[in-house]
Amino acid sequence: MRRSFVGRRGAPIRVGVISDTHGLLRPEALRALRGSDLIIHAGDVGAPEVLDRLRDVAPTFAVRGNNDKGAWAAKLPITADIEVGDIRVHVIHEIAHFELDDDAGISVVVSGHSHRPSAERRDGILYLNPGSAGPRRFTLPIAVACLSVSGQRVRSRIVHLDVGSR
């Protein structure tokens, strides 16, 4: 599935990135995503209401995760390519299922699944996993991420959410 998003002319596009909510959309995550021009959810949404609440903040694109089941989830694509200004973002839940097509022109690959936040550049591509914003898994942090897109330039930031022990 291919989608396009064009921000305000000349202004950086702020993209909020979230994953693995598993039906829990924390108020801290919503606060961190406020001000986003666009939100990307990298799967394991858990409930359609999560997407409804994210859409109240900004236009939202989501892919289906391995735990997303039911009629509502069947409507979500397995992968998505989103044109964000001058770059292409590929979204997939499990990075292990990603195969790079040299002609794809991808600048950023967003994935989830591992619950481990990371941002790493390899061969000119930013691989971003925002971590999990939902229920805590083991001792992994609760996090989201932000992208700032200006022309062909992309900056990323992992935002660790202060949720205490919950």
Side-by-side strand order, sheet with 153-160: 60-62, 38-41, 13-18, 143-150, 153-160
Which residues, in sequence order, are CB contacts of 93 under 8 Å at separation 6+? 19, 42, 43, 44, 63, 64, 65, 66, 78, 111, 112, 113
Domain coordinates in residue numbering, the chain: 2-160
Instruction: Give the CATH number of domain 2-160; options: 3.40.50.150, 3.90.1150.10, 1.20.58.340, 3.60.21.10.
Output: 3.60.21.10
Q: Whole-prediction pTM value?
A: 0.93
- Predicted pLDDT at 110: 98
Each residue's pLDDT tens digit, 9-61: 668 999 999 999 999 999 999 999 999 999 999 999 999 999 999 999 999 99
Length of the chain counted residue by residue: 166
DSSP code of residue 140 = P
Closest to 147 in 3D by CA, of 78, 76, 79, 88: 88
* Predicted pLDDT at 8: 59
pLDDT, residue 11, reads 81
pLDDT band of residue 7 (cuts 50, 70, 90) is low
65-122 residue pLDDT tens: 999 999 999 999 999 999 999 999 999 999 999 988 876 799 999 999 999 999 999 9
Residue matched to tokens 């690959």: 109
